[in-house]
Amino acid sequence: MKLAIIGPTALALEASLRFHFHGAAVTWFITDSTHEESDFQDYLSPESFVSSLGLDILGQLNLPFKKQDTFQFNHWKTNYFLPLIAYLSQEQKIKHHQVISVSKRFLAAAEVPSGRSRFLDLFRVTYEVNPQEFIKEQEQQNPETFERLSQELVQSLQTHLEMYEDFDLVLDLRSINWIRSLSITGYALGEKRVSREHLHYGHEALGLVKNNTMTEEVRELALVGSTPLAAEILIKLSPWLKDDRNRLFVISHEGWPFAKFMEESEEKAKERLKDVISYHESEFEKEITLFHQKLREWQQLDDFVQAKIPKPVEPIPRLVFFSGHNATAVDQLVDKRRVFLTLEKPDFRDGLKQPENNLLDLKTIGVDRVLIASSFERRPFEVNLLNDEKGFFILTPTHPMIKNSWECDLTSLKGLENEIFKLFSPTGAH
């Protein structure tokens, strides 16, 4: 069985190890060096991303993995992930190349050969190769042949090369960490025209907050989404939000933003998010109480005194929720200092959090930056297959902030193994 595994995740490593011991010919495409787990390591248990199989292999290599009291991503990567990659690379193929398409070798997407299954045809995985790495590899492997190549030919290999390899099965085990648009529908008017310094997507947005790189000019932010990433951004924004000059608008299509997250998240994440929201709700209640007190005092003044003293202004919360809303458009003035989001709430969706913000069907808010953490997708490569193509498996790693994420992934991988063994038997099976 010739198997392609796509993704840089801990789950992809575990799958590669398992199928290596099942006797498969594995090619692992580590298509992206980003490990989102490092952004969420606080929520992972010390047992996360390790398995009995991986620990046994490291023990046999005299490289025992020592678990820490808390999960530490760099420790795991250095002492578990990388040594096991080195182990696999001795007998299996590890390719640090970007996959650009998965298709059948000869069959069209909807073609079924007469009297046969589409599984008859192999999968073709096409990927990009950095020519400099390719040239160096050829120079090391075939020095005599390389010497005979003309300089013109070598110089012609300065653009990315496309190569392909054919497989019996393909496993897509990448994380879902790519955001297409600030709108959950996938398109917001004007988004492509707005300066990129004002729109920050996905992990870039989290990095902006974690590294505290926002300037003094950033006083109003919009956070689009109520995903686990949005929850972490809100948690990390807590110190910034305590400055009474700052305000955060949370835009979510959920009636109760973060309701699903609260049901599924790890306890530490849930408590941290609750603390942030409850703190600002409490602070706003104090401001409202003070406002009503000052308003009553002002109303008791004589008319000629009221004319000299401004009427108290009702406070606006520093944490504002537009629940049940879509961000449908974004615009920017000529001076490019602020961006303006158009928000809409359909009749069929309830806005239950701060329902006072639902009174207008169409509204616009102006902010200094927009942090986008809405629904995620796999970073696209071209897939020219049936929706239920036999032999092409997709298994999405569970987000690290979700309760028992690694245990869920190992269970899902076992189920995937069972599906594959309906097509191929492991080595030594009867």
Distance CA 152, CA 125 (A): 29
Name the least confident of 82-91, 119-128, 298-307: 298-307
Query: 189 — phi, psi (to 5°)?
Result: -60, 135
| Spatial distance between the Cα atoms of 267 and 373, rounded to a whole number of angstroms | 21
Please answer whether residues 188 and 330 qualify as being in contact, where contact means their C-beta atoms are separated by less than 8 angstroms: yes
Amino acid occupying residue 174: R
* CA proximity to 19, closest of 175, 169, 165: 169
Interval 363-384: pLDDT, tens: 999 999 999 999 888 888 899 9
**Enclosing H/E stretch for 377:** none
Joined tokens for residue 345:
């709430």
Check pLDDT > 90 for residue 160. Answer: no
Do residues 291 and 312 lie in contact, with contact meaning Cβ atoms separated by under 8 Å? yes
Q: Residue 104 forms beta bridges with which residues?
A: 123
Is the confidence at residue 88, as pLDDT, over 70? yes
Q: What is the pLDDT of residues 95-113, one digit of tens each?
A: 999 999 999 999 999 899 9
Give me the residue spans of the domains in the chain: 2-177+377-420, 191-372
pLDDT at 201 over 90: yes
More confident position, 296 or 216: 296
The pLDDT value recorded for residue 430 is 46
Examine the pLDDT at 132 and tell me if it is beyond 80. Answer: no
Q: Which helix (H) or strand (E) holds 69?
A: none
Q: Convert the pLDDT of each residue in 304-356 to its tens digit.
A: 888 889 999 999 999 999 999 999 999 998 777 899 999 999 989 999 999 99
Considering only CA atoms, which of 61, 104, 99, 97 is closest in space to residue 80?
Answer: 61
Query: Residue-wise over 72-88: b if at least 16 C-beta within 10 A, else e?
Result: bbeebbebbbebbbebb
Determine the pLDDT at residue 146. 66
Strand partners, 163: 127
Is-contact 109 384, C-beta < 8 A?
yes
Reported as a pLDDT band with limits 50, 70 and 90, residue 174 is very high
Higher-confidence residue of 412 and 152: namely: 412
Instruction: Please check whether residue 88 is in contact with residue 66, taking contact to mean a CB–CB distance below 8 angstroms.
Output: no
Tokens of 207: 């990095």
Do residues 376 and 397 make contact, with C-beta atoms less than 8 angstroms apart?
Answer: no
238-275 pLDDT, tens digit per residue, is 999 999 999 999 999 999 999 999 999 999 999 999 99
Same fold, 2-177+377-420 and 191-372: yes
- Alpha-carbon distance of 198 to 338, in angstroms, equals 8
In the predicted structure, residue 152 carries a pLDDT above the cut 60: no
CA distances from 163 to 29, 160, 337 (A): 13, 10, 45
- For residues 326 and 343, the answer to whether their CB atoms sit within 8 Å is yes
pLDDT mean over 401-414: 96
- Residues 107-140 as b/e (b if ≥16 CB within 10 A, e otherwise) read beeeeeeeeeebeebbbbbebebeeeeebeeeee
28 compared with 425, residue with greater pLDDT: 28
- pLDDT score at 215: 61
Higher-confidence residue: 110 or 279? 279
pLDDT of 229 strictly over 90: yes
User: 136 vs 310, which has greater pLDDT?
Assistant: 310
Find the mean pLDDT for residues 406-414. 97
Options 3.40.50.150, 2.60.40.10, 3.50.50.60, 3.40.50.1820; CATH of 191-372:
3.50.50.60
Of 69-78, 249-258, 380-389, 419-428, give the lowest mean pLDDT range: 419-428
Mean pLDDT of 66-71: 91
- Between vectors from CA 261 to CA 260 and to CA 265, what angle results, nearest 5°? 130
Q: Which of 99, 106, 100, 105 is nearest to 124 (CA)?
A: 105
Query: For residue 154, what pLDDT is reported?
Result: 60
Task: Write down the pLDDT at residue 214.
Answer: 67
Question: What are the residue ranges of helices labelled H in 257-344?
Answer: 259-264, 267-299, 303-306
Q: Which of 87-91, 100-104, 170-174, 183-187 has the lowest mean pLDDT?
A: 183-187
pLDDT at 360: 76
Backbone angles phi, psi at 37, to 5 degrees: -60, -30
The answer on pLDDT for 32 being more than 80 is no
Nearest to 224 by CA among 253, 204, 262: 253
> Mean pLDDT score of the chain, rounded to an integer?
90
Listing DSSP states for 15-40 in one string gives HHHHHHHTT-EEEEE------GGGGG
CATH topology of domain 2-177+377-420: FAD/NAD(P)-binding domain (3.50.50)
Q: Which residue has the tokens 């309906």?
A: 422
Distance CA 8, CA 11 (A): 8
Give residue 249's identity as a one-letter amino acid code.
Answer: F
* Six-digit token string for 405: 């994420």
Quick one: residue 118, left, alpha or beta (phi over 0 = left, psi -120 to 50 = alpha)? alpha
Which two tokens mark 247?
A: 């305000």
Which whole number is the average pLDDT over 141-165? 70
Q: Is the pLDDT of residue 155 over 70?
A: no
